Structure 1
Amino acid sequence: MKGLFYATSMVAMAAVITSCGNGGAKKAAADSTAMAADSNVVVLFDGTSLDGWRGYNKDTVPSAWTLEDGCIKINGSGAGEAGARNGGDLIFGAEKFGNFELSFEWKVAKGSNSGVFYMIQEVPDTPSYYSAPEYQILDNENHPDAKLGVDGNRKSASLYDMIPAKPQNSKPFGEWNTGKIMVYKGTVVHYQNGENVLEYHLWTPEWQAMLDKSKFSKDKNEKAYNLLLNCGGDQKEGYIGLQDHGDDVWYRNITVKKLD
């Protein structure tokens, strides 16, 4: 994993550090303009608009997702995962990505839960997480999910319900964390606050074995199992999305660097 971390760091773009409030939105817009000079970089969120975003299996942005001081915020309904009529998962619907490096920042309110999905296939009448691996977003100290699963595989930056993030270096609720997901020819690496916390490989016997042991196994959820087994579909690409789990969560500085 250390060798892969070194290799990918050579293509990683510098993190953009802004603050919500106190001019954070203006600085985010300026920084995103500078990054756009790199033709391989796609600015998914520039701090000023939700252009390119929409609800999963929807044509518009659900009203529970708003702009707040240069951030994307999901205003929690308290109704659980996509439980409110005006909520639901949010996807960047303007483009699908196959080999990429996704960078973002996130913070949660006390006890909050969300997730970053990648390689999403939009399937009618099917939740987004049926087809997409999840980078868990969580208040580890105050949400019950942190004590579920196996060996901490539902804590922040984990591959949800499959691989725990180690070291577990997330910051407390109310503080900003940096996240990064690298996907390259089936190899996937999660980063949290500057550290490589897990690695796995899609479309391999090991990937199938992980699914077999998870809540997405064929016995427990055959539809999700089949979609995840062929993650990314025939083109090996998909949408990037943010989860509505009914809690207050903020995201900012969301960019993708395409990898050849």
Structure 2
Amino acid sequence: MKLLSYCIAALFIIGCTSNEQRINKLSSAQQREGWKLLFDGKSLNGWHLYNLGDTSSKWTVKDGELICDPRKPDGVFADLVSDSSYRDFELLFDWKVAKGGNSGVFINVEEDAKYATTFATGLEMQLLDNAHAEERHKKDSTHWAGCLYGVDCKGADSNPAPYNSWNRGRIKQQDGIVSFWLNDKLTFTSDINSATFKQHVADSHMKAYPDFATYSNGKIALQNHTDSIAFRNIFIKPL
């Protein structure tokens, strides 16, 4: 019995060690499938501030996490964008927010001085602590975690983990079809070139931004929102 207990304990430790080693690292199988790291777990290499380049910011790296820390004494608040642009791809990422936290991941962001913000062009997968969010977010299901912010959502499947716990996000774009998953549940999908989708936008507050969702490729962006947000395991696979 003791031998069996030791064996189980050893397997548990090996399993835990294996999981630890996979943080911000691709497996051999993932590499063969074409996945790439977007965050190396050690630095901001491959990222810069939207329209501001390498300006000092609230974004930092600590313990393998990419963090926007509002308590950081120096640096500006700004969204972080990828150096590269992407068209058809699949994106995976882990995320967690503090109590009541609010952030987002954008795709198809056009970086240009004529656009003051990432959401002027990019589609946002909302990241939110639904349970402790501001009332304005609680009342609008398109503001819940996993939604295409302000436009559309399968609200019944917006079930983020408790604040300060890790969630798994997934975004896929291929031939104009964009889909979001939150913790393996589909929370949004649409052909962004369709008349139905365009009508959804026209009926939303995003109609105030004429170039919203008009680009078929662009940067990936991580939103600062003066709330604590952390990311890890950010992987992308061009399709």
User: What amino acid does structure 2 have at the position aligned with 1:238?
Assistant: G
**Structure 1 residue 116 corresponds to structure 2 residue 96:** no
* CA distance in 2 between partners of 1:100 and 1:38 (Å): 16
Asked if 2 retains the 8 angstrom alpha-carbon contact of 1:24 and 1:69, the reply is no
Paired residues of 1:190 and 1:196 also in contact (CA < 8 A): yes
SS in 2 for 1:255: strand
Residues 1-260 of structure 1 aligned to structure 2 (within 5 Å): 27-29=22-24, 31-32=25-26, 34=28, 37-38=31-32, 40-60=34-54, 62-76=56-70, 86-93=76-83, 95-125=84-114, 126-144=116-134, 145-149=136-140, 152-165=141-154, 166-217=156-207, 221=208, 224-225=209-210, 227-230=211-214, 232=215, 236-259=216-239
| 1:167 CA displacement | 1.2
Shift in Å at residue 228 of structure 1? Answer: 1.8
Could you tell me how far 1:146 is from its partner in structure 2?
Answer: 2.6
Secondary structure at the residue paired with 1:141?
helix
Q: Secondary structure at the match of 1:105?
A: strand
Sort the Cα spacing of 1:36 and 1:60 in 2 relative to 1 into closer, same or farther, 3 A: farther
TM-aligned CA deviation for residue 140 of structure 1: 0.5
SS in 2 for 1:209: helix
CA 1:42 to 1:124, structure 2 compared with 1: closer, same or farther past 3 Å? same
Where structure 2 has 5 or more consecutive residues not aligned to the other structure, the ranges are 1-15
Over aligned residues, Cα RMSD in angstroms?
Answer: 2.4
- Matched to 1:184, the amino acid is Q
* Partner SS, residue 179 of structure 2: strand
1:106 deviates by 0.4
Contact 2:178 2:191 in 1 (8 A): yes
Shift of 1:36: 7.0
- Bigger fraction of residues in helix: 2
Supply the distance in 2 between the matched residues of 1:62 and 1:200 (Cα, whole angstroms).
37
> Taking structure 1 as reference, are residues 27 and 229 closer, same or farther at Cα in structure 2, changes over 3 Å only?
closer
Residue aligning to 1:14: none
TM-score normalized with structure 2 length:
0.84
Aligned residues: 220
Q: Which runs of 5+ in 1 are unaligned?
A: 1-18, 79-83
1:212-241 per-residue CA deviation (whole Å, 9 max, x = no partner) reads 111111xxx2xx22x1252x2xxx210001
Change (3 A) 1:48 1:252: same
CA distance in 2 between counterparts of 1:228 and 1:200 reads 15
In structure 2, the partner of 1:5 is: none
Cα pair distance change 1:215/1:45, threshold 3 Å: same
| 1:57-92 CA distance string (max 9 Å, x none) | 1221542000111010001269xxxxx961200011
Letter in 2 for 1:173: Y
User: Are 2:151 and 2:206, in contact at CA under 8 Å, matched by a contact in 1?
Assistant: no
SS in 2 for 1:104: strand
Once residues 129 and 38 of structure 1 are traced to their aligned partners in structure 2, the CA distance between those partners, rounded to angstroms, is 34
Q: Supply the distance in 1 between the matched residues of 2:111 and 2:217 (Cα, whole angstroms).
A: 12
Give deviations 1:10-36, integer Å, cap 9, x for gaps. xxxxxxxxx9xx99886435x237467
Q: Which stretch of structure 1 is more off in the superposition, 138-147 or 104-113? A: 138-147
How far 1:123 sits from its partner (Å)?
Answer: 2.0
